[in-house]
Amino acid sequence: MSPQAKSARRAQLEAAALYPLEWLEERSGLVGGVKYFLFRKVPRDTGWFHTLGSATLTAFLVQAITGVILAMYYKPDPNSAYESIQHITNDLTLGWLVRGMHRWGASVFIILMFFHMARVFLFGAYKYPRELNWIIGVLLLAMGMLEGFTGYLLPWDQTAYWATVVGINLNGTAPIIGPFLAQFLAGGTEIGADTLSKFYALHMLAIPGAIFALIGLHLYLVIRLGVTSPPWSPDAAGRERPEAAAPTNGREGLVRPGRRGGSE
């Protein structure tokens, strides 16, 4: 077999293999979009510190997935919530594992959010033009805390109950609106029949929805604005860059993503 024939056959095979991707790309542009997302340019001296954001995202996805599975077995009713948690932990195969992932993953998620925030703060990555992304990050932190607050009630044991009593009454001490806020959260003057299902709905529908939307905005801005170099980088923003003819349209100093499909 001649080399030409071999390579022709190879080209044919490659074309066949790539055909579905090309079909998809032609109709949706998704392949280019994914390449644009994954193979964008980053500063050459990014390091492990820059992985904290992705780690936080991963922790959130773990919470989302394990939460959906737990919701298949949990019963948000004052008379059966505690028993359903016992059932998940003690009776159902691997229930102890998934509940444990969700329970400990919650702490991991919060801790990683703080590490990520510390990295952004110490690297000065919140500065122009990324102020808006810092603000979105603060909203995400608040949403994460709300997830912790609403999720803590769901085991419906003594710790959960009294911690939530204290948490609701802490809200109740806010000036002017505090008493209204407390009564809204408890669904009445005290924790009652509907408090648990209200917290459950907030915990698994309202707040995660907001978090998904905010993560979308967060990532959009990360892709649009690029990743910051570390403060010790020779490429740090504001320094003279090797290519002096860089555009000066007000985006100087930004590491700009490459064209669609990566490599420029």
Partner 1 sequence: MSDQGPHLPAPSLWPIGFAAGIACILIGLVISVLVAVVGFGIALVFGFLWLRDVTRPVRTPAPEVEPESRPSRATEATAPAEGDAMPVMSEEEIATYPRSTFISIATLGLGGVIGGIITVPVLGFAVLPSFTNQHEPNVELGPIEDFPEGDFVIATFLEDPKIGEVSRRTMFIRNNGQLEGQPSFTVLYSRCAHLGCPVQPNGPVFDDEKKTIGDHVELTPTKPAGFGCPCHGGQYDTEGNRTAGPPVRALDRAEFSIRNGKLVIGSFYSVAKVEGTGERARIQKYGRMPPGVHVDGPEAWLYPLEVPR
DSSP 227: P
Helix spans in the chain (H): 3-28, 30-38, 52-71, 81-86, 95-122, 131-153, 158-172, 178-186, 195-201, 207-225
**Shortest spacing between CB 114 and partner 1, in angstroms:** 25
* Identity of the residue, 148 or 167, whose beta carbon is nearer to partner 1 in the bound complex: 167
* Identity of the residue, 179 or 261, whose beta carbon is nearer to partner 1 in the bound complex: 179
Query: d(Cα 42, Cα 116) in Å, to the nearest integer?
Result: 18
DSSP 196: H
Residue 129, CA atoms < 13 Å, CB-side half-sphere: 13
Residue type, 190: E
Residue type, 222: V
Residue type, 55: A
**Shortest spacing between CB 154 and partner 1, in angstroms:** 14
**Shortest spacing between CB 195 and partner 1, in angstroms:** 8
* Identity of the residue, 191 or 225, whose beta carbon is nearer to partner 1 in the bound complex: 191
Residue type, 22: E
Q: Which of 36, 102, 107 lies closest to 66 in space, CA to CA?
A: 102
* Identity of the residue, 129 or 187, whose beta carbon is nearer to partner 1 in the bound complex: 187
* Identity of the residue, 132 or 205, whose beta carbon is nearer to partner 1 in the bound complex: 205
**Shortest spacing between CB 220 and partner 1, in angstroms:** 25
* Identity of the residue, 175 or 250, whose beta carbon is nearer to partner 1 in the bound complex: 175
* Identity of the residue, 76 or 95, whose beta carbon is nearer to partner 1 in the bound complex: 76
**Shortest spacing between CB 143 and partner 1, in angstroms:** 18
**Shortest spacing between CB 181 and partner 1, in angstroms:** 9
Which residues are at the interface with partner 1 (CB under 8 A)? 78-79, 162, 165-166, 168-170, 172-173, 175-176, 178-180, 182-184, 186-195
The encoded tokens of residue 57 equal: 């995202």
What size, in residues, is the chain? 264
Q: Which of 191, 152, 145 lies closest to 168 in space, CA to CA?
A: 191
**Shortest spacing between CB 168 and partner 1, in angstroms:** 8
- Whether residue 234 is preceded by a cis peptide bond, meaning omega within 30 degrees of 0, is no
